[in-house]
Chains A and B, each alone.
Chain A
Amino acid sequence: MEKMIDLNGNSYPVIPEVETIQQLLEHLGLGDRILIVEKNKEILQKDHYDAPIMDRDQIEIIHFVGGG
């Protein structure tokens, strides 16, 4: 079954191949960015990016950019 998560405030269907936070970041093209991830209101340390994504997880990702 397809999982549905809340990603940065929008509903987001997760394809079956994406099972962990790390896979989600790569799927979103954010794999090599400097970023901070929050899962269900808890900030995830980098070595916890293998955490599984569950249906209805609330995930926030903020990546750093240079401009201004």
Chain B
Amino acid sequence: MNSKYSRQELFAPIGPIGQQRIREAKVFVLGAGALGSSGAEMLVRAGVGELTIVDRDILEWTNLHRQQLYSEQDVIDQLPKAIAAESRLRAINSDVKVRGIVADVTPENVLELFEGHHFILDGTDNIETRLLANDAALQLGIPFFMGACVGSYGLTFPIGVKEGTPCLHCLLEALPPQSLTCDTVGVISPIVVTTAARQTAELLKCITGATMEPRLESVDLWTGERAAMNVQSMKKPTCPSCSDTPVYPYLSANEVIRTAVLCGRDTVQLTWPKNRQVELMPFANSIRDIVSNLKQNPYLVSCEYNDHRLVLFRDGRMLVHGTKDITAARKIVAGLLG
């Protein structure tokens, strides 16, 4: 028993049969930020068969204190997180087929992205995307391991791991107008690792066929507060996402430019509908004379404009740094793109 996974196989609840199931598992990691980095590293070391990791963002210095897959050089190179994560994860364990995808997960592409995977690990940074993932995972019948953290506080909840259990939509009822983010209250790395560890443990239990319960858990590493609830009684027979006649409300796409304020930074993201995407080369050429510090690589164009840094990605998204004001960001972009 000297193979890479021998100590994991020696753990009786996994054993050689469990290890074989881990080997056959195809896992989707939604987001390559703090939770996504930590969870993906554990899953790759555990020896899952395939791991897809998707992220919309590029690396920033402010990420390094908690996003464990990345180095200073990755930030200097302005790499997209999904690209840097892919290369680091492949270096960690060559047994695993790792794929990094630079994309924003939206109602338009989420089903296509999730399809073919057996488990989904939540590494996103906002509740709206979690509700989108909840709907998509329920429609496809894929278990979804939710996790979220800010400050020194984190919570986890596994969805679709047992017949008839509540989904995230059952627990939330409505999308909160505002929620705590890393941007407003900060975050420390120990809670990232703790939250990701709980998500990953639940996912490994589910892979190996352990009995699963709909347990919502939270912990605050600073105050020592903790809670765990079996939330079965919150299952709503009329839930739009998990009733017998679901309508999956968060999967309805729209045809307007979508905007989002990114967690952890002063940044607004704009996403154009598929039929009117902005292309990298024409964009770079059109702004060359009015912006400063213009940089290009195969994945993006970035520049400084009116005290804001703008980044356009190949998949048609743009980040406007230096503001949380969606209207201001739209104005800046409208000024450049008409």
Tell which of A43, A62, A63, A68 has the most Cβ of chain B within 10 Å.
A68
Does B47 reach chain A (CB closer than 8 Å)? no
Cβ of A54 to closest chain B Cβ, rounded Å: 19
Cβ of A47 to closest chain B Cβ, rounded Å: 13
Chain A residue with minimal CB distance to B220? A8
Does B31 reach chain A (CB closer than 8 Å)? yes
The segment from B121-129, B266-274, B282-290 that touches chain A is B121-129
Please tell me if the beta carbons of A62 and B182 are within 8 angstroms of each other in the complex.
no
With a cutoff of 8 Å between Cβ atoms, the chain A residues found around residue B36 in the complex are 68
Beta-carbon contacts under 8 Å, B249-278 to A: 263-264
Could you give, for residues 110-147 of chain B, a 1 whenever the CB lies within 8 Å of some chain A CB and a 0 otherwise? 00000000000011111100000000000000000001
Does B34 reach chain A (CB closer than 8 Å)? yes
Cβ of B266 to closest chain A Cβ, rounded Å: 15
Bound Cα distance A26, B101 (Å):
43
Bound Cα distance A38, B216 (Å):
11
Q: What number of residue pairs across chains A and B have CB atoms under 8 A from each other?
A: 90
Does B35 reach chain A (CB closer than 8 Å)? yes
With a cutoff of 8 Å between Cβ atoms, the chain A residues found around residue B173 in the complex are 34
Main secondary structure of the interface of B (DSSP, over half): mixed
Contact of B229 among A9, A10, A43 (CB under 8 A): A43
Cβ of A51 to closest chain B Cβ, rounded Å: 16
Bound Cα distance A60, B216 (Å):
11
Contact of B35 among A9, A60, A62, A68 (CB under 8 A): A68
Could you give, for residues 211-232 of chain B, a 1 whenever the CB lies within 8 Å of some chain A CB and a 0 otherwise? 0000011101001111111010
Bound Cα distance A66, B124 (Å):
9
Which size bracket describes the interface of B in this complex? 35 or more
Please tell me if the beta carbons of B181 and A66 are within 8 angstroms of each other in the complex.
yes
Please tell me if the beta carbons of B124 and A68 are within 8 angstroms of each other in the complex.
yes
Please tell me if the beta carbons of A10 and B182 are within 8 angstroms of each other in the complex.
no
Please tell me if the beta carbons of A67 and B149 are within 8 angstroms of each other in the complex.
yes
Beta-carbon contacts under 8 Å, A9-61 to B: 9-10, 33-34, 36, 38, 43, 60-61
Beta-carbon contacts under 8 Å, B62-113 to A: none
Given contact pairs A66-B179, A67-B150, A9 touches B225 in the complex (Cβ within 8 A): yes
Bound Cα distance A21, B296 (Å):
56
Given contact pairs A8-B225, A62-B218, A67 touches B234 in the complex (Cβ within 8 A): no
Please tell me if the beta carbons of B224 and A10 are within 8 angstroms of each other in the complex.
yes
Please tell me if the beta carbons of A61 and B227 are within 8 angstroms of each other in the complex.
yes
Residues of A within 8 A of B (CB): 7-10, 33-34, 36, 38, 43, 60-68
- Offer 24 A-B interface pairs, CB within 8 angstroms, sorted by A: A8-B227, A9-B226, A9-B227, A10-B223, A36-B231, A36-B234, A38-B227, A43-B231, A62-B216, A62-B218, A62-B229, A63-B218, A64-B127, A64-B155, A65-B153, A65-B179, A65-B180, A65-B181, A66-B126, A66-B179, A67-B148, A68-B33, A68-B122, A68-B195
In the complex, the 4 A-B pairs of residues with the closest C-beta atoms, listed nearest first: A8-B225, A67-B150, A60-B227, A66-B179
